[in-house]
Each structure stands twice: as C-alpha cells, then as structure tokens.
C-alpha cells in the first residue's frame, strides 16, 4: 500500500519551521477562520460511485481536522525532539465551505481511463471548465497501484484520493478502519497548503491566497 504518491523522501525537519512561520502570519491567527470553498469531482467509469452521505461524512472529517477538533487523534501526535507536533496542533482554523456539503459542490465525470497516477493525468481527461477557479478541487477516483492519495503539487489547488478512502469513523469507506476514515484527504490537503512530509527534502512555500478571494 502506497499511502501518498505526492513526492520523494529524504530526511528533513525544516518543515516544522515552515509550520511555525505559518502560525506567525497575521491572517492565520487562531481567532480568524479561513473559509476555503471546495468542490468534489468524482471521476468514475461507472463501476463505482460515492454517495452524498459518504462525501458529507468525509467533509466533516476535514473540517474537524483543520479546526483541531479531531479529538480521537490529538493524543497520538508525537511530541519528541524529532517530531514535536503537539505545540502546533489545531492551528490555524480553516473551514472548508460550505460546512454542510450539498449536491451543488459535487460533480460527476464519466471516464473510462482510470488508475490515475497523478492529478495532471486526471485533469487531462476531464472537460475544461470543470475546476473551481478559486478554491480547492478534490478528485475522487480510482488511483493506480493502490495509491491512497496524491496532491497536484506542493502547494496547489487540487488533490486526488482513491474513492475507497472516503468516509469517516462511523461510516468508513471500503478500506475500512485502516484507510477508510477520511484521513487520506486531510493529509493531501496538507500538501495543497504547502506542507511536506517530515522525511521529505522538498522545499516549499505555502500560499493560501491560491484558495482565497482576498490576496
């Protein structure tokens, strides 16, 4: 199982400095909530679908996680010299809008060439005008070789997750209690915001203005 196909891996902890820098930015203080519009784009060959209920549960998961309300996991954050994550939990406050997902934020594209290995692959196979210009585009499809999720780039406005990861704790996707609780999407959105893995040497800058009307 490849958890995330977004990038390469090497040892690097500078990402934590990046996270701390982000907290210092005035528009990311804890009392300001950033509203980021989202659109879910299901790309399917007809052999599978994802229900509105599943997507709503998934949407709840990302909203909980980015507001620091994922109480089932907060105590699992490592807090040692190599991975001092506890001090940065639950900040900034990001809200993916609308809070309650409706059918208007969901598009379904029928396409026979699945097993995508990159977001570019997907975008090359869907009609122009499908994407949300300002906001976050989330592709739900079947990915290659059991990749769970991929961000388009770091940072970017688009990511893709395998449809079997969509759900939450109560209503997990096909991957069940291991990878079906909706956390793959939360992970990939982190990449969209400019965060890299602690074990990646990739340098990046976060530009939330990609997602927001206000620069």
State in angstroms the smallest separation of the CB of 73 from Zn ion: 16
Query: Which helix or strand (DSSP H or E) is residue 140 part of?
Result: strand 136-141
Of 94 and 101, CB closest to Zn ion: 94
Could you say which residues in the range 113-172 bind Zn ion, by CB under 5 A?
none
Of 4 and 65, CB closest to Zn ion: 4
Question: Nearest CA to 6 among 145, 149, 199, 114?
Answer: 149
Positive or negative CA dihedral for 178, 179, 183, 184? positive
| Residues near Zn ion (CB under 5 A), total | 2
Q: In this chain, which residue has its C-beta nearest to Zn ion? A: 4
- DSSP string of 158-215? EEEEEGGG---SSS--TTHHHH-SSHHHHHHHHHHTT---TT--------GGGT-S--
CA 146, CA 142: separation in Å to the nearest integer?
Answer: 8
CA 28, CA 88: separation in Å to the nearest integer?
Answer: 12
189 near Zn ion, judged by CB under 5 A: no
Of 105 and 155, CB closest to Zn ion: 155
State in angstroms the smallest separation of the CB of 75 from Zn ion: 22
Q: Which member of 6, 44, 137, 153 binds Zn ion (CB under 5 A)? A: 6
Q: Which member of 2, 4, 64, 89 binds Zn ion (CB under 5 A)? A: 4
208 near Zn ion, judged by CB under 5 A: no
Of 137 and 184, CB closest to Zn ion: 184
CB 161 within 8 A of CB 41: no
State in angstroms the smallest separation of the CB of 175 from Zn ion: 16
Question: Interface with Zn ion by CB under 5 A: which range of 5-13, 56-64, 71-79, 112-120?
Answer: 5-13
Of 4 and 138, CB closest to Zn ion: 4
Q: What is the CA radius of gyration of the chain?
A: 16
Which residue ranges make up the site for Zn ion (CB under 5 A)?
A: 4, 6
């Amino acid at each position: 199982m490849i958890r995330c196909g977004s990038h390469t891996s090497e040892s690097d902890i500078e990402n934590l400095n990046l996270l701390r820098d982000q907290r210092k930015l005035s528009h990311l203080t804890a009392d300001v909530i950033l509203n980021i519009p989202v659109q879910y784009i299901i790309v399917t060959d007809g052999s599978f679908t994802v229900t509105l209920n599943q997507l709503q549960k998934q949407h709840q998961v990302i909203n909980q996680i980015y507001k620091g309300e994922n109480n089932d996991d907060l105590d699992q954050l490592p807090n040692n010299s190599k991975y001092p994550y506890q001090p940065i939990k639950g900040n900034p406050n990001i809200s993916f809008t609308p809070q309650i997902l409706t059918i208007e934020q969901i598009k379904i594209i029928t396409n026979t060439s699945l097993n995508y290995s990159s977001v570019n692959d997907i975008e090359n196979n869907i009609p122009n005008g499908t994407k949300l210009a300002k906001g976050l585009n989330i592709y739900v499809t079947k990915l290659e070789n059991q990749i769970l999720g991929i961000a388009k780039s770091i940072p970017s406005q688009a990511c893709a997750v395998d449809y079997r990861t969509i759900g939450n704790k109560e209503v997990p996707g096909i991957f069940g209690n291991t990878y079906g609780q909706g956390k793959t999407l939360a992970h990939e959105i982190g990449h969209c915001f400019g965060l890299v893995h602690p074990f990646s040497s990739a340098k990046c800058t976060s530009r939330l203005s990609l997602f927001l009307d206000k620069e």
